[in-house]
Structure 1
Amino acid sequence: MEDVFPRDERALFSDTYTEESRYQFCGRELTISQTFGARLGVAAPVWEAALTLCGYFEAEKMNFSGKKVIELGAGTGIVGILAVLLGGNVTITDLPHALKQIQENVLSNVPYHYPAQPRVCALAWGQDQDSFPTDYDFILGADIVYLKETYPLLIRTLRHLCGSQCTIYLSSKMRQEHGTVSFYEEILPQHFLSELVYRNDSENVNIYRVTRNG
């Protein structure tokens, strides 16, 4: 990983600054820009849960060729971009204020002649999901479980998007104080079948594979 624009130096000259970092996954080099001070909040950085999910795809030799994929709460878009490069037909979503950063990262990492260009669009959980289809093969989310008030909205969105043949991968920092543990242990099992498929002890990050419960 290489930081081209160190945060402290840029902060001296501007209220808004960009860090560009490089990551290697699945034989691809990803160049991801993170824009701080632009009201992006938690959407600005690459979170460890996203890197852990990308590493899981690499370890499991995941292949999304011919698969219909949607990423929720994408932030920088790194997970969805990797899914594109692994062959997926990918829709990358977040709230409207984060879309410019995602689109810039798509342009930096997905060649314009690439056969399956990702779609980048807004999706507010609990509000916009009905305008999206229900036939995704995969739903991806990295560090999107951290605000208790959004959990019912996320569940409503997942229930709409997740058909009988869909697999959800959720990667989360297991923050006890934010109710993340209770989401996976109490809320999610009311609606879905979930299985812990990977844990990073040093980062306290879990990856769950989730499917419909009937």
Structure 2
Amino acid sequence: MSLEEKDYQFGGHTVKISLFKESFLGVSAYVWGPGLALCQYFEAEKFNFTGKKLLELGSGSGIVGILATLLGGDVTLTDKPHVLKQIEYNVSANIPLGSRHRIKISSLVWGTDQKNYPNDFDFILGSDIVYSPIQFPFLLQTLQDLCSSNTVIYLSSDMKYREGSVKFHEELVPEQFNSEVIHRNGSNCIYKVTKKPQSMSTAF
């Protein structure tokens, strides 16, 4: 297996990412545009996640979750089991020992494993996780289960080159969530998503 390494700069933080090439990680062995767009958005808006609890879905290389940790957050990075070693490698390279208690790495398969997680996250992050329509029901269920009425979800998606992304964001998500585009970068769009309040049923 070969490593492909690259440094990224965001707001005074250098994030060194190594990708496990020839490792059967498929799409997870890349840093994709939507992930960079979300990191750049955090940089431009001067985000500070100190004291906040975050969960990242489909972490892949770990670049977004690692930056969120460097910006002060308590972050849980998740992906399928076979991707976790790459995430662990990059976390070790970027997060100082004194901050390691603020970052966790664990398996989360959408539609099943979310039941093992709390729903008290301040933020849920996802970049370039909308590309496989067969997974959309599981992703939506996972978001529903993981977020409370106070959770803010940031989803960064490539709207031009990912199958079903327009339908997902413009039709499926609004059925269950409030959603708005807050930033555009080329074909990448960042959506801010929150849970719709449940209607009050009258008891008789």
Shorter-chain TM-score tier: over 0.9
Deviation per residue, 1:96-132 (Å, 9 max, x gap): 0100000000000001122643100000000100100
Shift of 1:37: 1.2
Distance in 1, matches of 2:112 and 2:146, equals 13
Find the aligned partners of 2:33 and 2:108 in 1 and give their Cα distance.
Answer: 23
Distance 1:38 1:114 in 2: 29
- Are 1:38 and 2:39 matched, yes or no? no
Equivalent of 1:167 in 146, 152, 175: 152
Q: Which amino acid aligns with 1:165?
A: N
Distance in 1, matches of 2:100 and 2:18, equals 23
C-alpha distance in structure 2 between counterparts of 1:108 and 1:149, whole Å: 34
Alpha-carbon contact 1:134-1:160 (below 8 Å) kept: yes
* Normalised TM-score (structure 2): 0.94
Distance 2:129 2:103 in 1: 20
1:24 aligns with 2:27: no
- Rate the CA distance shift 1:53–1:92 in 2: closer, same or farther, 3 A: same
Q: Unaligned regions of 5+ residues in structure 2, if any?
A: 198-204
Name the counterpart of 2:121: 136
Q: What letter corresponds to residue 45 of structure 1 in structure 2?
A: Y
Q: Measure how far apart 1:176 and its partner are.
A: 6.0
Q: Could you tell me how far apart the structure 2 residues matched to 1:212 and 1:159 are? A: 8
> What does 1:40-119 correspond to in 2, within 5 Å?
40-114=25-99, 116-119=101-104
Partner AA of 1:100 in structure 2: K
- Partner Cα separation in structure 2 for residue 87 and residue 31 of structure 1: 18
Q: Paired residue for 2:174? A: 189
| Residue number in structure 2 paired with 1:207 | 190
Contact 1:88 1:116 survives alignment (8 Å):
no
Gaps of 5+ in 1: 1-15
Corresponding residue for residue 12 of structure 1: none
Q: Which runs of 4+ in 1 moved over 3 A?
A: none
**Aligned equivalent of 2:165:** 180
Q: Deviations over 1:131-186 (max 9, x none)?
A: 00000000000000000000000000000111011000000111366111000011
In percent, how many aligned pairs have the same letter?
51
Q: How many residues align?
A: 197
CA RMSD, Structure 1 to Structure 2 (Å): 1.0
TM-score (norm: length of structure 1): 0.90
